[in-house]
Amino acid sequence: MTTVRIDKDGLLTLPAALVEQLGVAGGGELTAELDAAGQLILTPLPERAAASPASLAETVHRKNLAAGIQHIKGVGPKLVEALQRIGITTLEDALYHLPHRYEDRRELRSVASLRPGRTEVFEAIVVSATTSSTRGGRKQYEVVAGDETGTVVFRWFNFNQLWMKKAWHAGKRGIFIGEVNQFGQRREILHPEVEWLSAEDDIQAVMARDPATYGRIVPVYPLTEGLHQKAMRHIMKQVIDAYAGAVSTVIEPEVLQRHHLLPLADAVREVHFPAADNDLEALNRGATAAHHTLVFDEFFFLELGLALKRRGFTMEAGIAFEVNHKYTKPLLKLLPFSLTHAQRRVLSEIKEDMMAPYPMHRLVQGDVGSGKTLVALLAALVAVENGYQVAIMAPTEILAEQHYLNIHGWCESLGVSVLLLTASHKGKEREELLERVRSGSAAIIIGTHAVIQEKVEFHRLGLGIIDEQHRFGVLQRGILKKKGENPDILVMTATPIPRTLAMTVFGDLSLSVVDELPPGRTPVLTKIYAESRRHQVYGLIREEVARGRQAYIIYPLVEESEKSELKAAVQMAEHLQSAAFPELKVGLLHGKLKPEEKEAVMADFKAGEIHLLVATTVIEVGIDVPNATVMVIEHAERFGLSQLHQLRGRVGRSSHQSHCLLIASDRLSDDGVKRLRVMEATTDGFRIAEADLEIRGPGDFLGTRQAGLPDFRVASLLRDGRILEEARREAFTLVERDPELKLPEHQRLKEEMLKRWGGRLELAGIA
């Protein structure tokens, strides 16, 4: 029997013979446990395999990329702060902070050969430096510099005179960089960059010492206050030289070959500091192989996440609804019109999804007036026929109220109970409403975010309908889903969403488009009017009212404020009634009215008792008065294109010719002019949406910069639509082959996707 002693420190000392017997004489690990008789059993652990050099290198690379930007030489606390303002905290952030344009500095030119419209690099000597004034009396600092071939003028409008006199005087020699402008025979550069040279400096040696600035195509980075282009380039040069090699892709080699993608590290190097033989125009369009590689890599992992998410839906158990027509057929008989072919097609797609044994996740797009709300109501009635509740969620109280006004009239004649729940409902009234939801006595619940608050408990939620989904994020969709046991989700938007945006924000949803307007609609004539031509607008309103028609006038505000010049609805309604149209009946509709007051105003307008309805954007969605043929929008430049298109959709709802008159300020910005010209040129919602996306960018196009829109480091939805489609195809094909990415060769793909997008796409269950 071998005796083992435990010393006072609790350490176990094993005799040499036992160590040898256990086979761990050369070192190793043991497990120790007591058996049933209280005997200590020692068992050697198998040796762990040493980490492979590849996985070791990967670990080191990951650690390096996560290191702070302060590790770069010359980046002190002030620069760290400035870099953080533009999203650069780590070395990886810096690698993906791409130039937004490039300048050609490959060649040192003579002054005579400077090309207008280009950023040029040249050597010159200052001939003169003086302060002068423009014809308008504005002070300017003017420098003339030249070489043996000619002269060029430098000009500054914002300057410190003492500093300029000290820095710029005749005889100084330097290397100058700037964009050349041509005025007649004279060439000018505003605020050039300069590197001063001493008499003995050799220019080629000076340029060779700064390879980030001279003799190449030079990157120009997005900056912030306290950060200058030259300093930024030097920081980025260090980061690229030392750490670009740390990035690598885990996308399968055959995919890379199929799309002619570069190794990721090469693409990063090339995008920041392109080789001299690159095409400058292609670089500035983001159309090089390096740009393509980085964009594909980014889109691929997003689409992989969306493919897994959609796959996850189809693998969940859902409600298999039956279509028994208890309420849907009676509703169709109540309607004074027939469904369009597009409405019938979309409804059958929805019904097919609802009858399936897994949850529906479908996006319904449809232009203004295409009848999406009716399609959604018919879907809701299918759920109610099966004994389930329906939640309809709208982004604003006004829109929720409009849905309520439209839906409850129809439903109550069918014996289906509809309830409105918004943040305005307080105290006892709110408790009563919540009890009706809990007990199931309310079949259709319409509301705002209030519908998904914690205290709201559904008796049996079977369908969630989200209207104007672009104003909600993925997370709200997820919360609504958790209010029932995997209810079906139907998402609606009247904002035509360009394809690229739909594939990213709603890439996990099936798509239906109501692409047909009801018959008998006449395209609306749209025209821009300056403030000075208001009398013509009022003249057209009088003509239309004399024909028995009605008109809307829309204002951006409810009441005037001292700070704003904008005309407001309340004051203008009074003015129009008393001064402009005393012979007509003027009504007023805005968001501050109580629901019953709004309902009364709309009932009077529909009945023709109000000739001219003054309103705020409360009427943007959901109001249908076929007899209204004039839509006047005041301060039209203050509205987004999609919103203008929505407002215009309130007219043109009959066979009568309708007009949309945009009254704009005399001081229009370039964007304002562009927007209004698009409205004049087309009534196609998708063309308008594309233009809006181009003018405003994806974040603003979707309302606020909301949770549904992914943050792209390198990709652009406007520029890279084709690459997005390629990446989506590859990602979805991969998930068809391996639905949960369980194959060993897909493990790293899955890890990378979860690292980048898991939180944003709510993919925790996929890990």
Range in 24-28, 340-344, 520-524, 630-634 with the lowest mean pLDDT: 24-28
SS3 of residue 755 by DSSP = helix
Q: How far apart are CA 378 and CA 400, in angstroms?
A: 18
Q: Quick one: pLDDT at residue 762?
A: 59
Contact 232, 221 (CB under 8 A): yes
Residue 299's closest CA among 735, 720, 748? 720
Quickly state the pLDDT bin for 473 (edges 50, 70, 90): low
**Four-point Cα dihedral 464, 467, 468, 474, nearest 10:** -10
pLDDT tens figures, 137-153: 788 999 999 999 999 99
Q: Quick one: pLDDT at residue 707?
A: 43
Q: Quick one: pLDDT at residue 699?
A: 56
Contact 143, 154 (CB under 8 A): yes
The pLDDT of 67-94, averaged and rounded, is: 91
For the cut 80, the answer to whether the pLDDT of residue 283 exceeds it is: yes
Q: Quick one: pLDDT at residue 55?
A: 65
Q: How far apart are CA 588 and CA 553, in angstroms?
A: 10
The H or E element that residue 447 is part of is strand 444-447
The H or E element that residue 732 is part of is helix 721-737
Q: Side chain identity at 378, as an amino acid letter?
A: L
SS3 of residue 132 by DSSP = strand
pLDDT tens figures, 308-317: 888 876 667 8
Per DSSP bridges, beta strands 30-34 and 40-44 are: antiparallel
Q: Quick one: pLDDT at residue 330?
A: 94
Q: Quick one: pLDDT at residue 492?
A: 87
pLDDT tens figures, 428-452: 888 999 999 999 999 999 988 888 8
Q: Quick one: pLDDT at residue 700?
A: 59
Higher pLDDT, 389 or 694: 389
Contact 472, 343 (CB under 8 A): no
Q: Over the chain, what is the mean pLDDT?
A: 85
Quickly state the pLDDT bin for 622 (edges 50, 70, 90): low
The pLDDT of 623-649, averaged and rounded, is: 86
Quickly state the pLDDT bin for 705 (edges 50, 70, 90): very low
Residue 719's Cβ-count burial label (10 Å; 0-12, 13-18, 19+) is middle
Range in 239-253, 375-389, 557-571, 682-696 with the lowest mean pLDDT: 557-571
Quickly state the pLDDT bin for 49 (edges 50, 70, 90): low
Q: Quick one: pLDDT at residue 94?
A: 93
Q: Quick one: pLDDT at residue 518?
A: 76
End-to-end CA distance of the chain: 51
Q: Quick one: pLDDT at residue 155?
A: 92
- Does pTM top 0.75 for this prediction? no
DSSP 356-421: SSS--EEEEEE-TTS-HHHHHHHHHHHHHHTT-EEEEE-SSHHHHHHHHHHHHHHHHHHT--EEEE
For the cut 50, the answer to whether the pLDDT of residue 168 exceeds it is: yes
Q: Side chain identity at 126, as an amino acid letter?
A: V
pLDDT tens figures, 489-519: 998 887 777 777 777 777 778 888 888 877 7
Q: Side chain identity at 19, as an amino acid letter?
A: V
For the cut 90, the answer to whether the pLDDT of residue 253 exceeds it is: yes
Q: How far apart are CA 501 and CA 642, in angstroms?
A: 14
For the cut 80, the answer to whether the pLDDT of residue 294 exceeds it is: yes
Quickly state the pLDDT bin for 8 (edges 50, 70, 90): low
Q: Quick one: pLDDT at residue 620?
A: 55
Q: Quick one: pLDDT at residue 581?
A: 92
Quickly state the pLDDT bin for 761 (edges 50, 70, 90): low
The pLDDT of 683-697, averaged and rounded, is: 77
Contact 723, 299 (CB under 8 A): yes
**In residues, how long is the chain?**
767
User: Can you list the domains of the chain with their CATH numbers?
Assistant: 5-44 (2.10.260), 328-514 (3.40.50.300), 525-682 (3.40.50.300)
Residue-wise burial string across 589-616, b where 16 or more C-beta atoms lie within 10 A, e elsewhere: bbeebebeebbebbeebbeeebbbbbbb
Share of the chain above pLDDT 70, in %: 88
Q: How far apart are CA 489 and CA 596, in angstroms?
A: 30
SS3 of residue 55 by DSSP = helix
* Helix ranges, 576-684 (H): 595-606, 641-648, 670-681
Quickly state the pLDDT bin for 35 (edges 50, 70, 90): low
Phi, psi of 634 (to 5 degrees): -80, 150
Residue 228's closest CA among 278, 191, 253? 191
Residue carrying structure tokens 């007051």 = 597
pLDDT tens figures, 188-200: 999 998 989 988 8
Longest Cα separation, the chain: 117
The pLDDT of 26-41, averaged and rounded, is: 69
For the cut 90, the answer to whether the pLDDT of residue 322 exceeds it is: yes
Higher pLDDT, 99 or 621: 99
HSE-up of 182 (CA within 13 Å, CB side)?
10
The pLDDT of 53-77, averaged and rounded, is: 82
Q: Quick one: pLDDT at residue 766?
A: 47
The pLDDT of 95-111, averaged and rounded, is: 91
Q: Side chain identity at 511, as an amino acid letter?
A: L
Can you read off the two tokens belonging to residue 723? 């690459």
Top-confidence range, 23-37, 162-176, 360-374, 744-758: 162-176
pLDDT tens figures, 742-755: 898 898 898 888 88
Q: How far apart are CA 643 and CA 471, in angstroms?
A: 13
Range in 138-147, 284-293, 384-393, 699-708 with the lowest mean pLDDT: 699-708
Contact 557, 616 (CB under 8 A): yes
For the cut 50, the answer to whether the pLDDT of residue 764 exceeds it is: no
For the cut 90, the answer to whether the pLDDT of residue 112 exceeds it is: yes
pLDDT tens figures, 513-542: 888 877 777 789 999 998 888 899 999 999
For the cut 50, the answer to whether the pLDDT of residue 765 exceeds it is: no
For the cut 90, the answer to whether the pLDDT of residue 727 exceeds it is: yes
